[in-house]
Structure 1
Amino acid sequence: MPSFLVFGCANFYGRAVIELLCAERDKAVAENEAAKDSWVIRGVDKILPELASFPDATLKLYESFDYRIGNLRCHDFIQRAFEKATDDNAPWDYVINFAAEHKFGQTPCVYEEDVHHLSIDIAKLAVENNAGALVHLSTAHLYAVSRDGNSADNNSRHKEDAPVEALNALAGSHVRAEQDIQKLSDKLQGLAILRPSLCYGPGDRQNVVPLLIAAQLSRESGESMEVLWDKDLRVNTVHVSDVARATLLAARHCKQHKQKLTFNLSDPGDTTNAKLAKTVAQLFAVKPSFHNFAFNYIAKRLKTSELTEEVNESLLGPWMELLAKYNVANSPLSPYLDQEHPYCRLEYRPLGIDGSLIEKVLGFKYEYAEISKDALRQMIEEFQQLGLWPKTEF
């Protein structure tokens, strides 16, 4: 029966793949296709699941498999994570690296350690341990932009073979990680590199949450929700559940066929700035207000740091007041937009990602074909259940 070694199993992406793996395992057991202990699942991360703000049902899943906690920067710890029990020396069927840092606003040194070095360490150990397939979660926030100011080119949907570049420290670390993993590809039995666009779903705290908070504050104030940038700029999206499903499909395919593949993950809904804003606004029954040409002209000429400072200052205070009003203490959720967030740079670097290759090659189907208010509502309801969001009606 299959064996899975999942690094980063307690983060936003890792949670989704763990939930899917446990569901598959439990279904196989219920249908008498396998004994529960014949599925080998080991999760590895740097935090306790109890500190990850999981709902009770998810937290219970983390008691049903082998969980290891330790320092992901420590080679010896990573090496020990690969070691199986003495009576089972078979190599891991699947090694999944979801541990690389995706949080905005960290220092270049942090990204170098927690993206580049960590990813290469895991990849080299996957080679040494003869793993059946390695899945590496990268990012789609790394495609090069036109240098001649051609906004039409920049707003196109990028395919996997489009040029990449280090747009910022985060993107640069992912580019280097991909490049060095590719150098090991001849030694890996199977390899899948996945590049998700703007990912949302249960557990997201930084991608669409700032927009959800902005809409909540607009509802409280009775004002329209102000939206920056042109309506047609792309900010393509993918649900974290589809990322998890694509991960397991790609892992199994690459192991079986001993292939090395790279896939974008981005739903066919082709989310634009207008579509994202309208969907968020509909959830909270507020009206989106798109700034006119004159305002956007001024915004374009502000430094990214100046623009984000203006936006953050206008939202942080009201959000803290709203949390206090509803007795929500210690919420990690914030409207804060780091200047590395793709939305802050949308005018210059739209996020247009073509995620159709995995559909054509593997027959994958996106269950969340487009972003919807129901999917966003699910996020808010979970936050409310966990006591992280004001219990208002919407």
Structure 2
Amino acid sequence: MPKPSVLILGGISTFASPLLSLLVPEGGEALVSFVRIVDKVSVVPATTYVSPDFLLSLKHTDLVEYRQANLTVSSTVTSVFDPPPGKEAFTIVYDLTGERDSSRPEIMHMTQTAQLAAGLGAEAQRRKVDAYVRVSYPYYKMSGSEKGGHKESSSKLVPDEGRGQWRHEASRALANIPDLNLVILRIGAEYGPNSLTGVVLPRIVAGHIYKYLKQDMKLLWSSDLKIHTIHTTDVALAAHLASEWIRTVGGRVKADALAAVEFSPSGVSKEQVEELKGICPVEKTPKAVLFNIVDDGSTTQDVIAKAVSKFWGIKHDYYGAVTALFAKLAFKDLDFREMVEDANEMHIEAWGEMLQKNTPPIDNSPISPYLPEHEFQKNAINLDGSKARKLLNFVPKHPALTLEEVEKIVKGFQAQNLWPN
């Protein structure tokens, strides 16, 4: 089989870099004939944080192209699917797009996640690509007590309001496109070197802050809160395996027969859906292939806290059941909001001091201890990843989050003078 030509849409702040490093390994044989990455930001000069690995990969100008473009414009979408002169048509598309900030207005999640995905999927279907792999997130209300984790087919998962609902509607929109050779990956809490996203990094930052403040790190909720994790390079690996799998099995119909699940309506209103182009009607329940992608660690909040505490040489503890219950009952009240604001203010002030006291001082860092209000909720991530292991032969190269993984993250940012010593 000839090497594919690949299009990566979005993901500069998430998985474009590890995916590119996998497809065009430094010092190794490329897995692709050509790859184009498209995102809204400039990388040279950089208008956002761009990992050193990504910049290194861009030097392979015969194989790699980066294009800055606004993918919400339909004419732009058409143009980015056109290959350069002399290059083969794109056969694999990795869709890493979508808004992730839970504090953004709902209209942004509607347009920047759901409607965007619908437009990209429609163009991919028109081009008859061999594989369209969409990376999605665990933005669902999950039970931490579900033994073994929630399976892909679980009817118990309800999308979080706002961000989660429109992320789910993006999946429904893609699933509703006939003949789109679609695989959706629902990943756990991501972590890894040069990764600024997810719920793991803020905990590592908090550990350093509490070391600086000479305080114990105290966390809400219980030690056994499930936060199943996945390394960013393993997300890239799973995406690659998914694209190869659907090409091997023979496309959408055969893939659906093996691994499709239903995507029920998310709970958004019919009126909202009808405002957007290409979104699946609320009356329909389309099917598509879905894989949960998590590591082998069955990670809990305490697993993360222990690794962080040991690395920074601090102690950690949990607020008692009464305090956690208060937080749960008062979540929509001003008292809880004030508590969140106070915590963020303390963390941001301390982090700013740490950056300025560093030698040399760090004037600008993309790493922030700030957490939106949503992230203080009791958000379990409890997923069963056995289907991906069985059908994709997915074996994570980073089987669990460990002290050594935390060290690599911190040391990597410190080497870039983005994290205080």
Same fold per superposition (TM over 0.5): yes
Q: Which portions of structure 1, spanning 4 or more consecutive aligned residues, are displaced by more than 4 angstroms?
A: none
1:385 lines up with 2:418 in the alignment: no
Instruction: Tell me the equivalent position of 1:133.
Output: 131
Across the aligned residues of Structure 1 and Structure 2, the Cα RMSD in angstroms comes to: 2.1
Which residue of 347, 351, 354 maps to 1:319? 351
Aligned to 1:332: 366
Equivalent residue number for residue 2 of structure 1: 4
Distance 1:375 1:59, change over 3 A: same
The amino acid across from 2:357 in the alignment is K
Tell me the equivalent position of 1:165: 158
Q: Which residue of 286, 300, 315 maps to 2:314?
A: 286
Residue 82 of structure 2 corresponds to which residue in structure 1? 83
Instruction: Name the aligned partner's letter for residue 204 of structure 1.
Output: S
Shift of 1:302: 2.8
Q: 1:306 to 1:94 in 2, by over 3 A?
A: same
Task: Confirm whether residue 202 of structure 1 aligns to residue 193 of structure 2.
Answer: yes
Output the CA distance in 2 between the equivalents of 1:70 and 1:85: 15
> Which segment is superposed worse, 222-231 or 201-210?
201-210
Aligned residues: 370
CA-to-aligned-CA distance 1:256-290 (integer Å, 9 cap, x gap): 21124210111121111111111111111111122
Deviation at 1:294, TM superposition (A): 3.1
* Partner AA of 1:101 in structure 2: E
TM-score normalized with structure 1 length: 0.88
* Contact 2:13 2:50 (8 Å CA) reproduced: no
Q: Please give the alpha-carbon distance, in whole angstroms, between the structure 2 residues aligned to 1:338 and 1:301.
A: 18
State the secondary structure of the residue aligned to 1:250. helix
Partner SS state of residue 340, structure 1: helix
Q: Note if 1:247 corresponds to 2:242.
A: no
Task: Supply the distance in 1 between the matched residues of 2:154 and 2:369 (Cα, whole angstroms).
Answer: 32
Contact 2:13–2:195 (CA<8 Å) still a contact in 1? Answer: no
Preserved CA contact (<8 Å) 2:142 2:382: no
| Equivalent residue runs for 1:228-307 within 5 Å | 228-257=220-249, 258=251, 259-260=255-256, 261-303=289-331, 305-307=337-339
Task: Determine if contact 1:235/1:350 at 8 Å carries over to the other structure.
Answer: yes
Structure 1: segments with no counterpart, 5+ residues: none
Deviations 1:337-374 (A, max 9, x none): 11233xx222xx42211122100112110111111121
Q: Tell me the TM-score normalised to structure 2 length.
A: 0.83
Structure 2, unaligned stretches of length 5 or more?
257-288
Amino acid aligned to 1:291: Y
1:156 deviates by 6.5
Alpha-carbon distance, 1:48 to partner = 1.9
Name the CA shift for 1:385/1:104 in 2 (closer, same or farther; >3 Å).
farther
Aligned to 1:183: 176
C-alpha distance in 1 between matches for 2:205 and 2:188: 21
**Corresponding residue to 1:17 among 16, 19, 34:** 19
Structure 1 position 40 matched with structure 2 position 34: yes
More helix by share: 1
Corresponding residue SS for 1:274: helix
CA distance in 1, matches of 2:28, 2:247: 22
Contact 1:214 1:335 in 2 (8 A): yes
Which whole-Å CA distance do the structure 1 matches of 2:234 and 2:316 have between them? 28
Matches within 5 A, 1:99-114: 99-114=97-112
Task: Tell me if structure 1 keeps the 8 A contact 2:117–2:173.
Answer: no
Aligned to 1:353: 383
More displaced stretch, 128-137 vs 104-113: 104-113
Cα separation, 2, equivalents of 1:60 and 1:268: 31
The answer on whether the counterparts of 1:132 and 1:255 sit within 8 Å (CA) in structure 2 is: yes
Aligned partner of 1:83: which letter?
Answer: D
User: Hey, what's the Cα distance between the residues in 1 that align with 2:71 and 2:374?
Assistant: 24
Q: In structure 2, what is the Cα distance between the partners aligned to 1:355 and 1:299?
A: 31
Measured in 2, the distance between the counterparts of 1:287 and 1:301 equals 28
> Does the CA contact (< 8 Å) of 1:16 and 1:240 recur in 2?
yes
CA distance in 2: counterparts of 1:67 and 1:380, whole angstroms: 28
User: Equivalent pairs: percent with the same residue?
Assistant: 25
Alignment-derived partner of residue 69 in structure 2 = 70
Query: Aligned partner of 1:232: which letter?
Result: D
Which stretch of the first structure deviates more once superposed, 166-175 or 239-248? 166-175
Query: Following TM superposition, by how much is the alpha carbon of 1:137 offset from its aligned partner in structure 2, in angstroms?
Result: 1.0
**Aligned counterparts of 2:69 and 2:312: Cα–Cα separation in 1:** 40
* 8 Å Cα contact 2:17/2:51 also seen in 1: no
Deviating more after overlay: 4-13 vs 171-180: 4-13
CA distance in 1, matches of 2:390, 2:192: 25
- CA deviation digits over 1:274-330, x for unaligned, max 9? 111111111111111222233323333332534422321231211111112111112
**1:27 is aligned to 2:61:** no
